[in-house]
Amino acid sequence: MDIRYSCNQRDFKRYTTAETRAEFLIEKLFAPDEVVAVYSHVDRMVTLGIMPVREKVSIDKGIDVWHSFGTHFFLERRECGMFNVGGAGKVTADGEVYALGYKDCLYLTRGVKDVVFESDDPAHPAKFYIVSAPAHTSCESRLIRIADAAKKPCGAAETSNKRVINQFIHPDVLKTCQLSMGMTVLEPGSVWNTMPAHTHERRMEVYFYFEVPENEVVFHFMGEPDETRHVVMQNEQAIISPSWSIHAGAGTSNYTFIWAMGGENQAFDDMDGIPTPELR
């Protein structure tokens, strides 16, 4: 498991492009029949990619759970949310089988012990994108299909940010300990996300970009509002955003991204907005 230690905003100002990418960018999340895991010391969030092809893959395959977390199994003191961004697949959690199609979401609460992933068709494997946060209470595991997500249209074609925010793991949809996740879909002709930009001192985020067309990229903007940096991202890559950083992006095409948040609260209006002309 790749471990990323927390970076503060003062040191970040001196980072090179390579150092910025090494600290925050998760370049490759999916490998056949493997678990790719990145542990961030920013709110102790874990980002995982699991692509079962020929095997059924356990969530802790290749991870020394005791050494990494001091627990006997991965979700002993954690919760997680996952989206399937590939072919049809299944997740078996303590004997309960959940079938996930493209863009379906599954929340697993603290205390779920055995979690196994499989694909329906090895030629079109499922790709499970997962984010896990520490949890201090148990809730109820639940499958949320894309059709059942709370949909919030926003933006406009005139400002190149017409999009739909799909809320899945969200206080208005289901109860969790601290984790929130959703999916934002940009319409053709729109490229900007999360503008006007903002920060939220009490929460961090992880962004996962996908449905980025071949030969296109997303410019993800981060850093303090008065001294921003960008990271050029490709399809199926994720980026860690600490609480002091803005998190916004512009693509050379429209795209989709999954956001995951964890921290002190789940109040989505608890943010500090930055007027766009004040960005530097």
pLDDT string in tens for the chain (280-residue length):
999 998 999 999 999 999 999 999 999 999 999 999 999 999 999 999 999 999 999 999 999 999 999 999 999 999 999 999 999 999 999 999 999 999 999 999 999 999 999 999 999 999 999 999 999 999 999 999 999 999 999 999 999 999 999 999 998 889 999 999 999 999 999 999 998 899 998 899 999 999 999 999 999 999 999 999 999 999 999 999 999 999 999 999 999 999 999 988 887 678 889 999 999 9
The structural domain count of the chain equals 1
pLDDT at 201: 87
Q: Centre a 10 Å sphere on the Cβ of residue 121 and count the other Cβ atoms it contains.
A: 11
What residues contact residue 145 under an 8 Å CB cut-off, 6+ apart? 101, 104, 105
**Measured distance CA(12)–CA(192) in Å, rounded:** 24
Q: Are 186 and 206 in contact (CB under 8 A)?
A: no
Residue 237 belongs to what domain range?
Answer: 2-278
Query: Residue 143 sits in a domain of what CATH number?
Result: 2.60.120.10
Q: Are 31 and 68 in contact (CB under 8 A)?
A: no
**Measured distance CA(38)–CA(77) in Å, rounded:** 17
